[in-house]
A and B are shown apart, each in its own frame.
Chain A
Amino acid sequence: MIVSTTHEDTRTETPADGSDQDLNPGQLEDIVQLIRPDGSRAESPGFDPWVADVTDDELIELYQDMVVIRRIDAEATALQRQGELALWVPLLGQEAAQIGSGRALRSDDFVFSSYRENGVAYTRGVGLGDMLTVWRGIASSGWDPYAFGMATPAVIIGAQTLHATGYALGCAYDGVDSVAIAYFGDGATSQGDVNEAMVFASSFQAPVIFFCQNNQWAISEPVRLQAQRHISDRAPGFGIPSIRVDGNDVLAVTAATRIALDRARSGGGPTFIEAVTYRMGPHTTSDDPKRYRPAGDLEEWSRKDPISRVSRLLESRGVPMDEVAKRVEDKADAVARDMRAACIALDKELDPMTVFDDVYEHPHPGLERQRSQYAAYLASFEGDAS
């Protein structure tokens, strides 16, 4: 199932209008799946060994992570609706893609993400308040990248894939087996940066993983506008092996990420993973997907929900899921309460003089002059009230 660089595509020509449903890049075919939507376990000789060590308890942990980040997502959306956040970027539906890959990483690996990877941030240990500072409008970055091995999320689409490639190159130069992983969406695959990153990563055999969450939508644009074939089909053209995985299957995502990590750590270079999933919510809290989402989509993808299938699988193995679900829900509620408290505690009243901070590492006389003039301006109001 791993698409090698010599992968031969046996399908017929791509129609110019992309109307052939067989080539719909969003379709679930030729895909790695270990947990079916109904919760049954699918056999996959190539991938099973990579998750053979995952115990039921560990699967419960993954289940819990997914429930918690879904709860985080809902709470943050509510905070936005209540005016506490300016914006939120929901990940609803993409929990398995983010938790499965994020939990496969080591602490010395490094994540370069887009803005939707709050689930990955959670797996890196980013604090609940730190997750919100950007969306509360009080900072451009919520956390110290070096403290969590995760860069400030990139808003410019696809730019971070190059950063991941450069970082990975640095790891190789340093003689360590740390890996860089770049998260991006289906829309980003149209960007020059992403394609350039694949060229650089391939030419220098950088230990980097290109993790594409194909959630079918770039705001209102369907993936068909970005790609006439499976997105995973592109990487072999760059000399990069790729894996197309069910992004709503946390076990399959774990297996795919472990394969890619192993290849990168052992000097085998980059891997491209297309995790096929679905953005169940809006692009952001400012978006209205009712304007473009076809009827039936949500219903169809609800049946492929990443959390319920794990619940069913665990249940079939005799895990008392009523009990587990209750415990996990309680934890998720507690996290949501903590997050809400952390959000409200983030002071929006910033010292206006801090606008000048950290533009440069060394003082810049031009900016210092503006700083002192603005300080004098502000000082001129002192005493006015008396």
Chain B
Amino acid sequence: MTQLTLGGAINSGLRRALAEDDKVVLLGEDIGKLGGVFRVTDTLQQEFGPRRVMDAPLAEAGIIGTAVGLAFRGYRPVCEIQFDGFIYPGFDQIVAQVAKLHYRTRGKVKVPITIRVPFGGGIGAVEHHSESPEAYFAHTAGLRVISCSNPQDAHTMIRQAIACDDPVLFFEPKRRYWLKGEVSEDLGAETLPMGSARVAREGTDVTLAAYGPLVATAMDAAVAAADDGISIEVIDLRSLSPIDFSTVEKSVRKTGRLVVTHEAAQSGGIGAEVAAAVTERCFDWLEAAPARVTGFDTPYPPAALEEAFLPDLDRLLDAVDRVMGRRNSLTGWKATA
């Protein structure tokens, strides 16, 4: 066990992957000498050389498309997209090529590409640096989409992603890069399968499903709610495609209530998918309609407005009140309960 930041845990996971398999290569902008703008690839080029850790020209489609060619040749490329909002120039290569090659070639061509994406807001950044584009990729057949919330998961999951023979979008909660925790590099049999959700805190009244940066917020909300006599079970989804609905379903059958949260915009988002699936599977167990607490259906706002945009502890608790039938912002003081 070592004390690591979340970013440091990804770094140690990348180092292990590079050391264990010489087909693993890293490509990205500024990932070499600089070690990445968030230092996630710090010292890796020094250790493994410029062929294994490649500074790429500033072209996201170029990075992803070159990775596809390397995968054709038997490599396991790990691409870094510098910021969430920069992924769109590479979108076609991801959606039309990376996602579909295995299907198009009837499994003859494997595409074990990992695409790392620092995502989400909360760091006071300028535009295009705080986005949450995960739903686009979760909507795309052929891709796996995962997001870590703590250092141990960050380390484990990046290694799972690289070991996976399917392409994986790996969303890193950039405002939690400096979150510290104990990390074991001894994964044992846990390397595969990837994709199971985690009960981050047990509870009995409300299931609160979150992923990435909002898991920590959800945990804070659970502590605050406990003071108020409400027991929240926090589920860290970890995987957004596939979503581990059996874990969510088990929780909701116990609590009868669901709140789901993410920073991404609401419409057509992961929360909609979770709410719909839970309603289909747990209709007879539900005590209240599922509630979503998300970013608004707006572009990500300027930094001075991001506190208004981002789901926070109070908005989560307000939604908890809603599913509990207590007074809340929508009912005002004329609540029935």
Contact = CB atoms under 8 A, between A and B. Distances in A.
Asked if A and B are interacting partners, one says yes
Contacts of B71: 166
Contacts of A156: 92, 96-97
Contacts of B107: 357-358, 361
A358 B61 CA distance: 25
A144 B241 CA distance: 28
Interface in A130-181: 139-141, 144-146, 151-152, 154, 156, 159, 161-171, 173-174, 180
Interface stretch (B62-70, B214-222, B293-301): B62-70
Interface in B198-231: none
B108 interface: yes
Nearest to B241: A366
Contacts of B118: none
Given A145-B109, A170-B75, A358-B107, A162 B51 contact: no
Contacts, number: 150
A326 interface: no
B313 interface: no
Nearest to B104: A140
A364 interface: yes
B70 A169 contact: yes
A237 interface: no
Contacts of B92: 156, 159, 193
A268 interface: no
A367 B72 contact: no
Contact of B65 (A145, A152, A159, A168): A159
B124 interface: no
A200 interface: yes
**Most chain A beta-carbon contacts within 10 A, residue among B72, B96, B97:** B72
Interface in A348-370: 357-362, 364-367
Contact of A170 (B59, B74, B166): B74
A162 B244 CA distance: 35
Interface string B277-301: 0000000000000000000000000
A204 to B, nearest CB: 8
A373 B32 CA distance: 48
Contact of B144 (A145, A358, A364): A364
A357 B65 CA distance: 24
B93 A145 contact: no
Interface residues of A, number: 45
A361 B72 contact: no
Interface string B133-149: 00000000110100000
Contact of A197 (B62, B106, B110): B62
A178 to B, nearest CB: 9
A325 to B, nearest CB: 39
Contacts of A192: 59, 61, 89
A194 to B, nearest CB: 10
Contacts of B77: 166
Contacts of A169: 66, 69-70, 73
Contacts of B164: 361-362
B332 interface: no
Interface of A is mostly: helix
Contacts of B106: 139, 141, 357-358
B69 A362 contact: no
B59 A200 contact: yes
Contacts of A170: 69-70, 72-75
Nearest to B77: A166
B220 to A, nearest CB: 30
Contacts of A180: 69
B73 A174 contact: yes
A100 B144 CA distance: 42
A199 interface: yes
A161 B68 CA distance: 11
Nearest to A112: B69
Contacts of B245: 365-366
Contact of B66 (A140, A145, A200): A200
B242 interface: yes
A132 to B, nearest CB: 16
B34 interface: no
Given A166-B73, A200-B57, A360-B166, A193 B93 contact: yes
B56 to A, nearest CB: 7
21 contacts: A140-B100, A140-B105, A141-B106, A146-B109, A152-B109, A154-B97, A159-B96, A163-B72, A169-B66, A180-B69, A192-B59, A196-B61, A199-B57, A199-B59, A358-B102, A361-B166, A364-B166, A364-B242, A365-B245, A365-B246, A366-B242
